[in-house]
Amino acid sequence: MSENIKTYEAEGIIIYWKPNICKHAAECVKGLPSVFNTQNRPWISPQNATAKKVMEVIDRCPSRALTYEQK
Ligand code: SF4
């Protein structure tokens, strides 16, 4: 079974999001609304904050639906 993974790139970071395991706990949306905003398409805009800040918030994702790789 192939896993559904979406990717979002910006300076210094690649974000991976797995919609199938997202629990919609909204830690990301509350933690950094300039980047994680479900009203936007795409809903993740990693260029709107520093890679360091984005990584801090992703580390709080309880389901690990969000992960990242540093470029
Ligand atoms: S913090 Fe993780 S589980 Fe919660 S809404 Fe964001 S991606 Fe989904």
Q: What is the pLDDT of residue 3?
A: 82
Q: How far is CA 7 from the centre of its chain?
A: 9
Tell me which of 40 and 1 has the higher pLDDT: 40
- What is the side-by-side strand order in the sheet with 13-17? 6-10, 13-17, 66-70
Average pLDDT over residues 46-70: 97
Condensed to tens digits (0 to 9), the pLDDT of residues 11-33 reads: 999 999 999 999 998 999 999 99
45 CA from centroid of ligand 1 (Å): 15
- What is the CB < 6 Å shell around ligand 1? 22-28, 61-63, 65-66
Residue-range domains of the chain with CATH: 6-70 (3.30.70.20)
Q: What is the pLDDT of residue 4?
A: 95
> Band of the pLDDT at 2, cuts 50, 70, 90?
low
